[in-house]
A = this chain, B = another copy of it.
Amino acid sequence: MARSSGGKSALSRAVRVLEAFDPSRNELTLTQIAARADLPMATAHGIVAELVELGLLERRGRELILGVRLWEVAVRAPGVFGLRETAFPYLEQVRDRLQQHAQLGILQGGEVLYVERLSAPESAINFTAVGGRIPWYATSSGLVLAASASPEELNRLLALPRPRFALEPQDSNADFKNRLAKVRQEGHAVTRGYIHQDSTAVAVPVLGPYGQAVASLAVVVPSGGFAVEPVLSVLAPAARAVSVKLREAFAG
């Protein structure tokens, strides 16, 4: 997450100011920005003034918010945008057919970053938000992406610490490898009661043009009366359809 925090350049300090905003704190005063970015007030003041001038921050009364201009540039990031656009109709289909939350995640530095989420009213408790992150070992999406990772990438993931996130099992590396082997074999991951005891998540991989897993498609359903087959009968064909579209887009 804080990959820029060691940086000394003007640019890295500006990124620290932008990263001071997080999903739960999207309006900050200058004092809060300086504290969260670990910058002297005068430095923070200068950077904020310049970011406002560039349209990357906007003033809202005494507080500052991330600017629409920043969103406008960033929405062109093809790593998210092409994927999201391609997957979107299938994500809607999954949500509509199952009447449950449907989400699309990618692996980023040991965490699953959710790039889209469609909510279903009256369905299971779910804490995921667009732009939110959950550690890879605590989510069905993370397990399915880890199971599809290269041996080097998997070793990198298993070398990271795994502090307890919610209610997930706390396995040794050997147990984890067995669990991931099962996920790889079955082609899907089920996590019952990991984030909330009453919720179960099911994830399947979305494959990129070279057959590598580039994202996961997942649903969150109530644990009571859960059966995997009806969920997979909707989820798996949707993920395969997204994979075909991605391959076509790449070839075209």
Contacts and interface: CB of A to CB of B under 8 A. Distances in A.
Interface of A: 3-4, 7, 9-12, 14-15, 18-19, 21-23, 26-27, 47, 50-51, 53-56, 58, 65-81, 85, 92, 106, 108, 113, 115, 130-131
Given A22-B76, A26-B81, A72-B131, 7 more contacts: A11-B51, A14-B14, A15-B54, A21-B76, A23-B76, A68-B80, A74-B74
A116 B74 CA distance: 14
A79 B55 contact: no
A66 B78 contact: yes
A162 B60 CA distance: 30
Q: How many copies does the complex hold?
A: 2
Given A7-B54, A11-B10, A15-B56, A71 B67 contact: no
A113 B11 contact: no
A60 to B, nearest CB: 8
B68 A77 contact: yes
A115 B72 CA distance: 8
Nearest to A12: B54
Contacts of A108: 68-69, 72
A103 to B, nearest CB: 14
A232 to B, nearest CB: 25
Nearest to A106: B68
28 contacts: A3-B54, A4-B53, A4-B55, A7-B53, A7-B54, A10-B10, A10-B11, A11-B11, A15-B54, A22-B76, A23-B76, A26-B76, A26-B77, A26-B78, A26-B81, A65-B77, A65-B78, A66-B74, A66-B78, A67-B79, A68-B77, A68-B80, A68-B108, A70-B77, A71-B77, A71-B81, A72-B113, A75-B131
